A and B are shown apart, each in its own frame.
Chain A
């Protein structure tokens, strides 16, 4: 009986924003590698920004989803300690954002849609990242993706960590997994500044409104993708199946739009965000 109770507890719906933060950061949650292998029938990764390096925290390549050819881009956190180290825990350097733009330009050239998977604690806060222009790389990405002449579908799968997430999250349809979070600052960071106590993260998480239902209400995302009971980490295949369905639906609805119409629609969506003064 005890085990039954525990299982029920483990599968209980998250009650607080911080519960979702924990689920979003669960190392057993499906990561980009899982999504690619469960959603795409093939994937060919391409490397490098042609300037400095091949950033392992952001990977990209061409893939097929149910017969649709697309470019996949996404944060790479890794599941094991070795993978975490290689991927810098999903914290991207400027090189990664420049690689993303290079590959997306290629997708635009051949009129292929772009699908991005967002899961990062934030852009890498390191001295080399600053020296190579972290701010400039993120800024340029925002301008670039806003003007990219091909459909973009974004899926926030885990942690949407501020500017480091947003740099590959400007798109035509923004999907978000039920227990993913997406925020201007981490709850710990916000608590440290506004509460002067990092331990107040649960309060900050609540106040910042970072869960998928909150973001849908605020108009920051377009659709919530359901997770299996207890969270995505319980069943990767079921999670991926839901994500796949939503991606295909989004691609289908965007396909019919003329490019200028697509870009006007994307601009209007961004333009409406936080405009309380009509």
Chain B
């Protein structure tokens, strides 16, 4: 038996246990370095994903966030089943894992002393997909914001509409856009923050409708998926395609703001606008 076939070779822990790997530039860092840097890649500046709760903690003034509409959750009106089982089981497992009841956490708070309605999507909840509960929370948030004269701030992170909820998930695109329209008509500001990743039916509805649309460095933002586009045009796409920088260059993003400056930037805008 050769040495490399030996059964008592030393156990090496998998790379994932030791290293944090930047998903954008594939650089390796010690886990602690990645964590200490706020999940921002020290090499390329990519801003790693945050949970909704982490984001809220970074945005809302301490002790001001009051969650709303938590009772509005998913709906399995299609009794949807796919190859891997029922939707209901998957979504219940997601609820148990994340502790959230939908892909957006909504609530009232203050941001740098400015009162606001804040919604934060969590990509860990079914890929941040837009379900009927998500759309309903956003529509209710718009209506409450109008009633209480609160500016609306939404952080998006989503793969798009939730196909397990069929046509009614598609209809949430129209419903949320209509509600945002009413909020704007009422003279209230809506700041949309598109975080990594914001694509499909979410980018094609409320996420792109901000009075200002802002994002973080290197976030992925687009409508169709990269592979779908490459198959359509039979060409390889450049690396920066659908990046925050690409969108800013093409005129669809007002500003790319680093995570550490986001709260101050939003407060500054609300201040300019008299809120």
Chain A residues engaging chain B, CB cutoff 8 angstroms: 123-127, 129-136, 138-140, 142-143, 146-147, 162-163, 166, 170, 182-185, 190, 193-197, 200, 203-204, 207-210, 215, 218, 220, 266-267, 270-271, 273-277
Contact = CB atoms under 8 A, between A and B. Distances in A.
Interface centre among B167, B171, B179, B237 (most CB of A within 10 A): B167
Given A194-B84, A209-B166, A215-B167, A136 B252 contact: yes
A139 B206 contact: yes
B166 A276 contact: no
Interface centre among B174, B175, B251 (most CB of A within 10 A): B174
B224 A194 contact: no
Contacts of B200: 163
Contacts of A215: 167
Contacts of A133: 208, 250-252
B204 A134 contact: yes
B216 interface: no
A65 B182 CA distance: 32
Contacts of A182: 167
Given A194-B84, A195-B83, A218 B178 contact: no
Given A130-B223, A218-B168, A195 B82 contact: yes
Nearest to A206: B81
Contact of B223 (A138, A185, A194, A203): A138
Contacts of A170: 174, 178
Given A138-B204, A273-B168, A131 B83 contact: no
Nearest to A195: B83
Given A131-B250, A134-B204, A163-B204, 18 more contacts: A130-B223, A135-B207, A135-B221, A136-B208, A138-B223, A143-B178, A163-B170, A163-B205, A184-B170, A194-B163, A207-B80, A207-B81, A209-B78, A271-B139, A271-B178, A274-B168, A275-B139, A277-B71
Given A190-B163, A277-B71, A139 B204 contact: yes
Given A220-B171, A270-B174, A147 B204 contact: no
A193 to B, nearest CB: 7
Q: Is the interface of A mostly helix, strand, loop or mixed?
A: helix
A143 B175 CA distance: 9
B75 interface: yes
Contacts of A166: 170-171, 173-174
B186 to A, nearest CB: 12
Given A130-B222, A218-B77, A274-B172, A125 B166 contact: no
Nearest to A125: B224
A134 B207 CA distance: 13
Interface centre among A123, A143, A166, A275 (most CB of B within 10 A): A143
Contacts of B164: 194
B194 to A, nearest CB: 9
B77 to A, nearest CB: 7
B169 to A, nearest CB: 5
Contact of A271 (B80, B179, B208): B179
Contacts of B78: 207-209
B237 A127 contact: yes
Interface centre among A125, A126, A132, A274 (most CB of B within 10 A): A274
Closest 8 CB pairs of A and B: A274-B132, A125-B224, A146-B178, A142-B177, A135-B203, A194-B82, A274-B168, A139-B208
A24 to B, nearest CB: 14
B166 A143 contact: no
Given A125-B232, A127-B229, A274-B136, A162 B175 contact: no
A140 B208 contact: yes
A183 B82 contact: no
B1 interface: no
Nearest to B170: A184
Interface in B193-229: 199-201, 203-209, 221-225, 228-229
B92 to A, nearest CB: 16
9 contacts: A127-B237, A184-B169, A197-B83, A209-B167, A267-B178, A270-B178, A271-B179, A274-B165, A277-B133
A130 B242 contact: yes
A10 to B, nearest CB: 29
B175 A273 contact: yes
B239 to A, nearest CB: 13
A91 B81 CA distance: 30
Contacts of B206: 139
A134 B51 CA distance: 28
B154 to A, nearest CB: 13
Contact of B163 (A129, A130, A184, A276): A184
B233 interface: yes
Contacts of A196: 83
A135 B169 contact: no
Contacts of A220: 167-168, 171
A146 B167 contact: no
